[in-house]
Chains A and B, each alone.
Chain A
Amino acid sequence: RKEVEQDPGPFNVPEGATVAFNCTYSNSASQSFFWYRQDCRKEPKLLMSVYSSGNEDGRFTAQLNRASQYISLLIRDSKLSDSATYLCVPEKGSQGNLIFGKGTKLSVKP
């Protein structure tokens, strides 16, 4: 099993839509998880941290399912500015470092 697996997309959605991404991870020892967004040719930026079962910040909700080893990110009322690649990062890889998945590309259309 890969360290982190994400559906690469692209997800093409209209403005105002609700969209959800899933991410599976292999290291069950991970206690914390992070979602980043990356715009084209820019650095990744932290979107949300998940230390327990989930977290909510405005239009964004992250949920963690430890039993199945996946985390999800839900975006409600999508905006054009949400168009980016979303990266899932468990705290622990096989050697304890931050391993990034390849990300899920989201494109929000008017």
Chain B
Amino acid sequence: NAGVMQNPRHLVRRRGQEARLRCSPMKGHSHVYWYRQLPEEGLKFMVYLQKENIIDESGMPKERFSAEFPKEGPSILRIQQVVRGDSAAYFCASSPREGTEAFFGQGTRLTVV
């Protein structure tokens, strides 16, 4: 049973470009969480999704950021018109249902140059 898969592991974008981060949850998991982590900082919650539904996006900036978890395929975190401040590690976690432990992917490290 493969773990949570995130790709790419490293992503470099120029200011103004778009970044797409993918997360394939563990088999049988229908809940996905996205977090952002700056160096020497804690994990900051961004968004919580179930298949085809956004449950809670209270941690996600209102502009430029969006997330989806379609019926088929991975969850996508999309950042439009990236700025230097978007440089961070983005982690995805999945769980089989609400209230249970979540398992993390290895993260995508985004660098905006």
Contacts and interface: CB of A to CB of B under 8 A. Distances in A.
B28 interface: no
Given A43-B91, A44-B91, A45-B104, A100 B99 contact: no
Contacts of B41: 102
A95 B43 contact: no
A34 to B, nearest CB: 5
Nearest to B48: A97
Nearest to B95: A98
Interface residues of A, number: 23
B99 A44 contact: no
A32 B100 contact: yes
A102 B45 CA distance: 12
B103 interface: yes
A96 interface: yes
B100 A100 contact: no
Contacts of A95: 48, 56, 58
A99 B44 CA distance: 8
A98 B93 contact: yes
Nearest to B3: A43
A99 to B, nearest CB: 6
Contact of A96 (B42, B56, B100): B56
B35 to A, nearest CB: 7
A93 B106 CA distance: 24
B98 interface: yes
Given A46-B102, A93-B45, 7 more contacts: A32-B99, A44-B93, A96-B56, A97-B56, A98-B45, A98-B93, A100-B45
